[in-house]
């Protein structure tokens, strides 16, 4: 820790505990053992620092490294991996082809899950049955991807969590919360048994356990801020 | 190496003549001087091979490397840079912060800039006017980022240039069809110059997009959209 109080810590994260995108950044930093400060934004009110640091999108997460801002969660995770490349474990795999496969799936996850979760939460209008089907299909594909990539090991990344584990795992909190809120089954042990087991392992991982709260906490959050966001999400998150 | 192995080792690209995403990949392969076999797909009648290689999206481009498929143009661009790290110019910068910024602007192009431009092209009346204003707003942000540089990456083309590059020929087509300029010397001088730099680069001149065919296709697309909404 810095000895002078005036000096800001070298690594700061602007975030909200309930944002899966913020959770990704925190997991990556913990995985690499990087000391950092978390500045929690206030829901519904964006801080001056956030507006200055991400003027284009005004969204969290933002990583401030020696004051320089980096935004977009998956971009930040890759940045962390590249800057602290000498800290094990590696987040992105070494092989360019496997990296491409993980990046493909990470993009797929962000195309499907955020919007789907918002619809099931009720903060965005949409056909819930259709979404449940879409997300179930997505999870089925990810189950197959898991079998191929994990190669019999515990995570998409193999022996330790990696980029794709973080990309999907960060959504597990809200996935389990909307299962309760909407009364649906997504992480169904009968349909995606390997993903269900993986999700439990992921949530218990030392780099994850303190930053990915239980489903109930996400449900509470949804109840508390549900009326704040009528049909359009105005959470300052990507 | 016997014939079959040789064939499997060839880089292949599944594409479609009108797809800007395919063009980005083709230009990236040229930057790296990579020989590849091109397979033209009929998107109305997709080949079994394409469906096998990209079952999730069933789209082009798909790059085949040592018999293994990679889909999604931005993923392919990064793959090309990493798999052929020591060939030709680097597509992404070395510095992690610069890499993060390059990736940021690629995403900006895809998520923030493309939608209003597409909307401007496929609508009319008030909806079109609102889309035009939104597009200009985003273009102004990009203008500021470019700030008179020859390319987004500096003196030579990089990831952001390749990713946004298709705008340099698509926007003029849309402008011609819509009868109004989106990028002017007066409002967006750096971007206008960049578009010229991009189109005049040797990579693009060696493999230019089929402008006449594209104009006809775009015209038909706009007419189809307007018909559906009237």
For A17-32, what is each residue's pLDDT tens digit?
Answer: 999 999 999 999 999 9
Q: Could you give the percent of chain B with pLDDT greater than 70?
A: 96
- In this structure, the answer to whether residues A76 and A121 fall within a common structural domain is no
- In this structure, the answer to whether residues A63 and A168 fall within a common structural domain is no
pLDDT band at B7 (very low <50, low <70, confident <90, very high): low
Residue A173 lies in a domain: yes
- In this structure, the answer to whether residues A115 and A218 fall within a common structural domain is yes
Residue A116 lies in a domain: yes
CA–CA distances in Å: residue B137 to residues A50, B59, B91, B198 = 20, 30, 28, 22
pLDDT at B47: 97
Does the beta carbon of A103 lie under 8 angstroms from any beta carbon of chain B? yes
pLDDT tens column, B12-64: 999 999 999 999 999 999 999 999 999 999 999 999 999 999 999 999 999 99
Residue A161 lies in a domain: yes
- In this structure, the answer to whether residues A114 and A79 fall within a common structural domain is no
Tell me the average pLDDT of chain B: 95
Range from A133-137, A232-236, B72-76 carrying the lowest mean pLDDT: A232-236
pLDDT at A128: 93
- In this structure, the answer to whether residues A68 and A121 fall within a common structural domain is no
- In this structure, the answer to whether residues A35 and A112 fall within a common structural domain is no
DSSP helix/strand/coil, A93: coil
CA distance B189 to B195: 10
Task: Choose, out of B21, B81, B96, B137, the residue to mutate when testing the contact with A (most A CBs < 10 Å).
Answer: B96
Residue A212 lies in a domain: yes
Residues in A closer than 8 angstroms to B82, CB to CB, are 96, 99
- In this structure, the answer to whether residues A59 and A131 fall within a common structural domain is no
Can you tell me the mean pLDDT for A75-83? 98
Q: Could you give the percent of chain A with pLDDT greater than 90?
A: 86
Q: What is the secondary structure of A147-192 as a DSSP string?
A: HHHHTTSSBTTBSS--HHHHHHHTTHHHHHHHHHHHT--SS-TTT-
- In this structure, the answer to whether residues A32 and A134 fall within a common structural domain is no
Residue A189 confidence (pLDDT) above 70:
yes
DSSP helix/strand/coil, A12: strand
CA distance A180 to A155: 26
pLDDT band at A229 (very low <50, low <70, confident <90, very high): very low
pLDDT at A233: 45
CATH number assigned to the domain comprising residue A186: 1.20.1050.10
CA distance A28 to A77: 6
Q: Which of B36, B45, B77, B62 is nearest to B166 (CA)?
A: B77
pLDDT at A8: 77
CA distance B59 to B51: 8
CA distance A141 to A128: 20
Helices (H), B32-166: 48-53, 73-83, 96-107, 114-122, 125-146, 159-164
Q: Which residues lie below 8 Å from residue B14, measured CB to CB, with a gap of 6+?
A: B39, B41, B47, B49, B50, B53, B54, B60, B61, B62, B63, B64
Q: Which residues lie below 8 Å from residue A169, measured CB to CB, with a gap of 6+?
A: A27, A161, A199, A202, A203, A208, A212
Residue A235 lies in a domain: no
CA distance A18 to chain B (A): 23
CA distance A50 to B216: 45
CA distance A186 to A80: 31
Q: Say whether A71 and B104 touch across the interface (CB within 8 A).
A: yes
- In this structure, the answer to whether residues A112 and A208 fall within a common structural domain is yes
Residue A231 confidence (pLDDT) above 50:
no
Last residue of one domain, picked from the residues A32, A61, A83: A83
CATH number assigned to the domain comprising residue A63: 3.40.30.10
Q: Which value does ipTM take for this structure?
A: 0.95
Count other Cβ atoms within 10 Å, centred on residue A49. Answer: 15
pLDDT at A39: 97
Neighbour-count burial for B52-75, b at 16+ CB within 10 Å, e otherwise: ebbeeeebbbbbbbeeebbbbbbb
Q: How many CA atoms lie within 13 A of A130 on its CB side?
A: 6
- In this structure, the answer to whether residues A54 and A75 fall within a common structural domain is yes
> Which domain, by its residues, includes A138?
96-223
- In this structure, the answer to whether residues A100 and A217 fall within a common structural domain is yes
CA–CA distances in Å: residue A6 to residues A2, A15, A64, A208, A221 = 9, 22, 16, 30, 34
pLDDT band at A234 (very low <50, low <70, confident <90, very high): very low
CA distance A65 to A54: 13
CA–CA distances in Å: residue A26 to residues A45, A94, B44, B99, B214 = 22, 22, 45, 20, 46
What is the distance, to the nearest Å, from the Cα of residue A69 to the centroid of all Cα atoms in its chain? 19
Report the length, in residues, of chain B.
230
- In this structure, the answer to whether residues A105 and A204 fall within a common structural domain is yes
pLDDT at A232: 41
Last residue of one domain, picked from the residues A28, A60, A83: A83
pLDDT at A88: 92
Q: How many domains does chain A have?
A: 2
pLDDT band at A205 (very low <50, low <70, confident <90, very high): very high
Can you tell me the mean pLDDT for B104-118? 97
Tell me the average pLDDT of chain A: 92
Model-level pTM greater than 0.90? Answer: yes
Does the beta carbon of B86 lie under 8 angstroms from any beta carbon of chain A? no
Does the beta carbon of A100 lie under 8 angstroms from any beta carbon of chain B? yes
pLDDT tens column, A101-141: 999 999 999 999 999 999 999 888 899 999 999 999 999 99
Does the beta carbon of A97 lie under 8 angstroms from any beta carbon of chain B? yes
Q: Which residues lie below 8 Å from residue A174, measured CB to CB, with a gap of 6+?
A: A20, A113, A117, A121, A218
Q: Say whether B107 and A108 touch across the interface (CB within 8 A).
A: no
Residues in B closer than 8 angstroms to A57, CB to CB, are 112
Residue A237 lies in a domain: no
Does the beta carbon of A144 lie under 8 angstroms from any beta carbon of chain B? no
Last residue of one domain, picked from the residues A38, A61, A83: A83
Question: What is the distance in angstroms between the CA of the first residue and the CA of the last residue of chain B?
Answer: 60
Residue A178 confidence (pLDDT) above 70:
yes
Residue A230 lies in a domain: no
Residue A185 lies in a domain: yes
Residues in A closer than 8 angstroms to B99, CB to CB, are 78-79, 82
Name the closest residue on chain B to residue A55, using Cα atoms. Answer: B141
Q: Could you give the percent of chain A with pLDDT greater than 70?
A: 92
């Amino acid at each position: 820790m810095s000895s002078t109080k005036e000096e800001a810590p070298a690594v700061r994260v602007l975030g909200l505990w309930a944002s899966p995108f913020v959770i990704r950044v925190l997991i990556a930093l913990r995985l690499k053992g990087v000391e950092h400060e978390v500045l929690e934004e206030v829901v519904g009110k964006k801080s001056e620092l956030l507006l200055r640091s991400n003027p284009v999108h005004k969204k969290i997460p933002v990583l401030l490294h020696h004051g320089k801002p980096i935004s977009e969660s998956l971009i930040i995770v890759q940045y962390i991996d590249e800057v602290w490349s000498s800290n094990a474990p590696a987040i992105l795999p070494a092989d360019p082809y496997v990296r491409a496969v993980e990046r493909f799936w990470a993009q797929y996850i962000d195309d499907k899950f955020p919007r789907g979760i918002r619809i099931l939460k009720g903060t965005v209008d949409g056909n819930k049955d259709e979404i449940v089907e879409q997300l179930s299909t997505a999870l089925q594909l990810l189950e197959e991807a898991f079998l191929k990539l994990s190669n019999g090991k515990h995570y998409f990344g193999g022996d330790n969590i990696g980029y794709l584990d973080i990309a999907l795992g960060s959504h597990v909190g809200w996935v389990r919360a909307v299962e309760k809120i909407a009364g649906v089954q997504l992480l169904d042990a009968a349909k995606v048994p390997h993903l269900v087991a993986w999700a439990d392992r992921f949530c218990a991982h030392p780099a994850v356990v303190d930053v990915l709260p239980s489903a109930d906490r996400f449900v509470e959050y949804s109840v508390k801020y549900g009326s704040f966001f009528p049909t359009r999400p105005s959470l300052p998150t990507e | 190496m016997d014939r079959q192995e040789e064939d499997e080792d060839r880089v292949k690209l599944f594409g479609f003549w009108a797809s800007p995403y395919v063009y980005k990949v083709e230009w990236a392969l040229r930057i790296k001087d990579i020989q590849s076999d091109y397979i033209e797909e009929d998107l109305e009648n997709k080949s079994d091979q394409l469906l096998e290689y990209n079952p999730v999206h069933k789209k082009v481009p798909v790059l085949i490397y040592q018999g293994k498929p990679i889909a999604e143009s931005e993923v392919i661009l990064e793959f090309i840079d990493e798999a052929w790290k020591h060939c030709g110019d680097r597509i992404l910068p070395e510095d992690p912060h610069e890499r993060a910024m390059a990736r940021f602007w690629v995403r900006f192009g895809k998520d923030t800039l493309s939608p209003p431009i597409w909307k401007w092209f496929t609508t009319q009346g008030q909806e079109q006017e609102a889309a035009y204003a939104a597009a200009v707003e985003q273009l102004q942000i990009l203008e500021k980022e470019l700030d008179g540089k020859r390319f987004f990456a500096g003196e030579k083309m990089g990831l952001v240039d390749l990713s946004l590059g298709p705008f340099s020929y698509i926007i003029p087509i849309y402008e011609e069809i819509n009868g109004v300029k989106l990028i002017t010397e007066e409002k967006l001088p750096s971007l206008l110059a960049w578009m010229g730099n991009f189109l005049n680069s040797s990579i693009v001149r060696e493999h230019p997009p089929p402008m006449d065919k594209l104009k006809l296709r775009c015209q038909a697309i706009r007419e189809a959209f307007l018909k559906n909404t009237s």
